[in-house]
Amino acid sequence: MTDNTHIPEVHVHRHGAVGHLSLNRPKAIHSLTLAMCEAMIAALLEWRDDDDVKAVILDHAEGRGFCAGGDVTLLRRSALEDEGASGRHFFDVEYKLNHLMFTYPKPIVAFMDGITMGGGVGISQPAKYRVATENTKFAMPETGIGLICDVGGGWYLTRLAGRLGQFIGLTGARLDGSECLAIGLATHYVPHERLSEVKARIISHPDDIEGTLEGQSFAPPEARIASNYAIIDRLFASDRFEDILAGLEADGGEWAAKELKTLRGKSPSACKNVLKQLELGAACNTFADNMAMELRGASRAINRHDFAEGVRALLVDKDNNPQWQPATPEGVTDEMVESLFAPLPADQEWKPL
């Protein structure tokens, strides 16, 4: 692990007894690079072993989003240029960061104030306190770029109520702050205008983070997703993608039609892979087991056709017209899905720090 504690893309501060990590890559909505992950790991390890540090704040320095994810254009380049080797290394380090946060002995407070997607989910969900605001836009949109819902999605999504995880993972549904609070992805809801005060109080009283957050929390607007719990559980009940599509088609309602149209635009391979990922993630006994499974899936997925094609359509050429292969769910065989999650060579298997 190189010491990248001091890089411009992550501000690393100490405020008395509180460590402070602030993502600072605003033009890319703070999407994570390898150097950013390494810098955060270095700081967290230093603070973990420092008895004077009592808590950690994680936020973003400026701009409209907390973290839009990992740098997928970098991952696409890896797939095209080095058979995914540098991409696999990025995932390995990113997942070490995710696991370090998940097992961290001191409270981390993540402020999900804005876009929180993909890799942004990976660094907010392990935090003990996850603060949503009226600006929060949470999503796991990986099926739109041929990837799986990695960075811990197999763990977090499968531990939501009912079939919410399958719905969120397949559709890439964007949730606002009140929805995140309602389903447990956030622990508190605080208006954006109060965040500076909240952070100042945490720094002043790191021994009473709970009291500070409770004291500054507001009752959010009613969560829109709450009215759809029953239909989600019914129409996303199957672990077979074809069954979900057939159920949405047969329903005939407006909501079902909208979600059917959404799923028709996603990578059929990625949708089947995500359903398998969530099935495997639900069976994992530890977060580390889940991350090892996701490293297998993600490192292979970036070398398959749909990832390079999905990133091309969304971010490179921006024509929003991906040509998926296979083009239909029926063309995606069980063997294709199973092989994505098969064990890697021993020296490539993921291990925590």
Residues annotated as catalytic (active site), given as ranges? 70, 119, 142, 150
Q: Is 83 left (phi over 0), alpha (psi -120 to 50) or beta?
A: left
DSSP 323: -
Strands 10-15 and 55-60, by their bridges, are: unpaired
Whose tokens are 């609070």? That residue is: 181
Q: Residue 301 in contact with residue 339, Cβ under 8 Å?
A: no
If one counts every other C-beta atom within 10 angstroms of the C-beta of residue 277, the result is: 30
Sign of the CA dihedral 320, 324, 327, 331?
negative
- Please choose, from the candidates 166, 172, 168, the residue with its C-alpha nearest in 3D space to the C-alpha of residue 244: 166
Q: Residue 253 in contact with residue 230, Cβ under 8 Å?
A: no
Work out the burial of residue 230: count CB atoms within 10 Å of its CB; fewer than 13 is exposed, 13-18 middle, 19 or more buried: exposed
**Sequence-separated (6 or more) residues with CB below 8 Å from residue 158:** 165, 278, 281, 282
| Token pair for 100 | 């370090």
Secondary structure element (H or E) that encloses residue 31, with its range = none
Q: CA 282 → CA 163, 169, 278, distances in Å? A: 12, 14, 6
Distance CA 100, CA 123 (A): 10
- Please choose, from the candidates 83, 77, 85, 18, the residue with its C-alpha nearest in 3D space to the C-alpha of residue 52: 18
Distance CA 265, CA 287 (A): 31
N-terminal to C-terminal alpha carbon distance within the chain: 10
Give the angle subtended at the CA of 343 by the CAs of 340 and 348, to the nearest 5°.
105
| Burial per residue of 168-200, b for 16 or more beta-carbon CB atoms within 10 angstroms, e otherwise | bbbbbbebbbbbbbbbebbbbbbbeebbeebbe
